[in-house]
Structure 1
C-alpha cells in the first residue's frame, strides 16, 4: 500500500511557509541565541516566540543549551540543519532587493568575503554550471511525490499588519504563509485555475481566494477571471522555491525516494542548484557571506 505520509514538499511548505519561522531563523543566522535577543530584534509576542523556538528545536534547526544554572538560562544555537537554510534566506534577500524597492529603509548589502565585493546570488546547475531560471527546468513527481502527500499540515499565525517584518517584509506576505507558498509552487509547475489550485492543494476555498488576492496585489500573479499566471516577478521566486526544495529533500527525504525530480533542460541532467557570486562566479558558502548595513560602505 502506498504511503500517505507527508513528503518533503509538505514539510517544506508547512515549516518554511511560516513567516515567524523564517524570521526567527534569519535572526539566528545573524547571531541571535537568547530569548531576549530575538525579542529585541523582532516584533513578536512572548508566546509566539516561545512556540517557534520550541518547534524549531523539535525540528532540529535549533539546539537548546543551558548557559547559566542559577537561575537556569537557555540559549538556542543553530544546528547544521538550521545553518543549511542560508541559501533560502539569501535568495529571499535577493528577491526583495530586486523586486521590492519600496522599503522604509534600504536593505543591507550582502558581502562576499572571498572576493571582497557586494554581490547578488545566482542559481546555477551543479552539473553544467549554467545559470538557470524557472523556464529552464522541468519538475516531475518522484517516488514519494503527489499532490495529496504535499499538502502542508502546519498552521500559521498571521502577524499584525503594522508590525515590521525584518529584512524582507513583502516576501513574508508572499511565501511566509503555507498556502501562499503552496500557490507559488503550484504556479511554477503549471497550475493556473482557481479550481485546480483548490482541488490539487486541498486548501479551503477561502484560503485560496485570500492568498491569491494578496499575491495578485503584490504583483506575483496576474489574475483574469478564473485564471492566474505567474508574472515575471513571481517567476523570479524560482531561486527561493528551488533552494527550499533542495533543503527539504536533503533533511526530510522519504524512504522511497525524493518527492520531486527536477531536470535542467539545457543539459538534460538532474538539477541540483548551486548559488554563485555574480562578481567572482565562485560558489557561495554561508560562512563567507556577511551582512553590511547601509551606514557602512564596501566595494
Structure 2
C-alpha cells in the first residue's frame, strides 16, 4: 500500500524504505530527485558511506576515522538506516550495534566513484587526500567514464536529451532532508568541497540541473525554478567563480548575459547522472519517473553506466578496489 500523503485530517504516514526493494512514494509528493538530493547533498552522509564501503561497521570505526561529533554521527547513522541504506544489527552479546550496508546502500558506489573522479580532476586542494581507485579487472588505477548502457558509447551532456517525466517538477524535486553540510558546521572544506558547493544546497542543485536541461539565460533559471532573483544571481556568481559556468554576452541584448557550462561543469555530468539513476531505481512514484533521458546517438532511452578508462570494460562494484592514500 502506498503511504497516505499529508491532509487536513492529519500528517502523512511515514514512508517505509525497504533495503532490498524500491520505496513506493506517495502520489503528488517529493519525487526521486528530492529523495536523492536529500541523501547525497550532505557531506557527512558521503563520508560515512565512503568508510562503510571500505569496511567500517561499528560506531567507533567512524569516530576513529572522521572528525565528527557524537551528535552528528548518531543523527546521520539513524537517517541512513531509516532510508534503508544501512541495516542495524547487534554484536557482542547484543550490547553493541553494527551498521551494515544494504543492497540499496551498496548500490551507491557509482555515485562515490564519480564524485572522487571529478574532485581529483578539477579541485586542486583537499584537506583530506582522495582515495585511489583500482580496477581489479585490468589491475590499473582508473578514471570512470560514463557511457550509454544500450550502445556502449561514452556520453557528454550534449549527447543526452532530458526532460521531466510524469512525477517531475521543480517543486517536487526539493530535497527531502535538511541537514547542514560539513563545511558549514566545521568551517573547513573536506573530501568533497566543490561537490558540496554544487549540490549541497537546494537552489545550487536546481540551477545545475536546469543547466544540464538547457537553461542559459538568467530569466530561464528564475522562471524554471521559481527562485527569488537574488538567490539565482548569487548562485550563478558562485558557479562562475568556481569555473563551472562561463558568463557570456547575450546575443539578443549585449547588456544581459548567458551562462554556459564550462568543461569543468560538463565533467560533473557523471555525478549527476549516477545519483539520479540510483534515485530512480530506489524511489518509485505512482505517476512514473521524475526524469526521462534519451541518448541522441542511438535513439534509445538513456541509462548510464560507468566504464574503466584503461580497459573500456563496464565497471562492477565488486571489481573496484578503493585504496586509502599512502
TM-score of the superposition, structure 1-length normalised? 0.88
8 A Cα contact 1:22 1:176, kept in partner: no
Match of 2:321 among 286, 290, 294: 290
Q: Partners in 2 of 1:197 and 1:164 — Cα distance?
A: 27
In the alignment, does 2:77 pair up with 1:53?
yes
The aligned counterpart of 1:260 is 291
The aligned counterpart of 1:180 is 204
Residues 237, 67 of structure 1: CA spacing in aligned structure 2 closer, same or farther, 3 A cutoff?
Answer: same
The aligned counterpart of 1:125 is 148
Secondary structure at the residue paired with 2:80?
Answer: helix
- 1:110 deviates by 0.6
8 A Cα contact 2:27 2:287, kept in partner: no
Ranges of 4+ aligned residues in structure 1 off by more than 6 Å: none
Residues 179, 41 of structure 1: CA spacing in aligned structure 2 closer, same or farther, 3 A cutoff?
Answer: farther
Residues 50, 214 of structure 1: CA spacing in aligned structure 2 closer, same or farther, 3 A cutoff?
Answer: farther
The aligned counterpart of 2:10 is none
- 1:250 deviates by 0.2
- 1:207 deviates by 5.0
In the alignment, does 2:36 pair up with 1:12?
yes
Matched pairs, number: 292
Unmatched 5+ stretches in structure 2: 1-25, 249-255
In the alignment, does 2:162 pair up with 1:163?
no
Secondary structure at the residue paired with 1:110?
Answer: strand
8 A Cα contact 2:246 2:261, kept in partner: yes
Comparing 224-233 and 40-49, the one that deviates more: 224-233
Counterparts of 1:52-71 in structure 2, within 5 Å, are 52-69=76-93
Counterparts of 1:17-56 in structure 2, within 5 Å, are 17-56=41-80
Match of 1:108 among 127, 131, 147: 131
The aligned counterpart of 2:281 is 250
The aligned counterpart of 1:239 is 270
Residues 170, 155 of structure 1: CA spacing in aligned structure 2 closer, same or farther, 3 A cutoff?
Answer: same
The aligned counterpart of 1:278 is 309
Residues 18, 212 of structure 1: CA spacing in aligned structure 2 closer, same or farther, 3 A cutoff?
Answer: farther
The aligned counterpart of 2:170 is 147
Residues 208, 267 of structure 1: CA spacing in aligned structure 2 closer, same or farther, 3 A cutoff?
Answer: same
8 A Cα contact 1:151 1:202, kept in partner: no
TM-score of the superposition, structure 2-length normalised? 0.82
Secondary structure at the residue paired with 1:140?
Answer: strand
CA RMSD of aligned residues (A): 2.3
- 1:161 deviates by 5.3
